[in-house]
């Protein structure tokens, strides 16, 4: 059984249907990407999965539980974590306070502190700035913080929305190195990314969205070799 199953999902913005009967699944332990141009419906899909937008119709099942109409805080309590586009950190709180907020559902406080220490070892920039207001971090540092905060919730599924957006190329490499490390730990990832080459490089499977619909799907290597995907998103290889 899939960890996440989405069947015939439709989402409206006022009178506009932004997502039109989308169906896909994510298996335990794999990284799956949703790719496509800006405005294709990718972010809307993730927000709906996370409980931030209502589904007009269709079914969303996560770990055997139906998510339709559940509020975001109940979905988060099921260990489904979303790192939103724009990162969504608490800018007036310190780095440490942001990390602690990631673990607000957990009662194993000693384990949380050990994991924060491990994060500081892996990401020394966060350790150096642990008492600094998060809003004063660079864009790349904020993305590191958003990823680390999400991981402290012990997610069964980690959803990432445009993690490379607005970052310098060297920082994009750093962030994707962190994502690969997370995937190697066995965490299931659903990745939305406009940088199609990056997304296909870290995922096992992918779905192409256009105008609110899935038009192509397959394993990532096949998608990278697909002439339509190359022409639309990858340019000349």
Would you kindly state where each structural domain of the chain is located, as residue ranges? 4-79+155-234, 90-152
User: Is residue 129 over pLDDT 50?
Assistant: yes
pLDDT tens readout for residues 172-226: 999 999 999 999 999 999 999 988 999 999 999 999 999 999 999 999 999 999 9
Place of tokens 């991981």: 151
Percent of the chain with pLDDT over 70: 98
| CATH 3.40.50.1970, applies to 4-79+155-234 | no
Nearest to 179 by CA among 141, 228, 144: 144
Burial class (CB in 10 A: 0-12, 13-18, 19+), 217: middle
Residues 48 and 54 sit within 8 Å (Cβ to Cβ): yes
Model pTM score: 0.92
Looking at residue 235, what is its pLDDT? 64
């Amino acid at each position: 059984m899939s960890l996440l199953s989405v069947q015939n999902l439709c989402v409206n913005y006022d009178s506009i249907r932004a997502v039109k009967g989308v169906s896909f699944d994510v298996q335990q332990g794999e990284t799956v990407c949703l790719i496509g141009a800006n405005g294709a419906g990718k972010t809307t899909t993730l927000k709906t999965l996370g409980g931030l937008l209502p589904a007009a119709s269709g079914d969303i099942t996560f770990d055997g539980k139906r998510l339709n109409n559940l509020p975001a805080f109940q979905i988060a309590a099921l260990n489904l974590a979303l790192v939103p586009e724009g990162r969504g950190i608490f800018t007036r709180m310190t780095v440490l306070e942001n990390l602690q907020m990631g673990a607000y559902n957990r009662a194993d406080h000693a384990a949380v502190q050990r994991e924060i220490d491990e994060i500081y070892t892996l990401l020394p920039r966060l350790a150096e700035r642990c008492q600094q207001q998060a809003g004063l971090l660079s864009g790349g540092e904020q993305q590191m913080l958003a990823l680390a905060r999400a991981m402290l919730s012990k997610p069964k599924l980690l959803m990432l929305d445009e993690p490379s957006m607005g970052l310098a190329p060297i920082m994009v490499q750093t962030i994707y190195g962190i994502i690969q490390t997370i995937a190697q730990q066995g965490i299931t990832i659903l990745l939305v990314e406009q940088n199609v080459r990056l997304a296909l490089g870290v995922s096992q499977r992918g779905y192409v969205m256009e105008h609110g619909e899935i038009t192509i799907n397959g394993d990532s290597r096949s998608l990278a070799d697909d002439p339509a995907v190359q022409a639309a998103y990858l340019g000349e290889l």
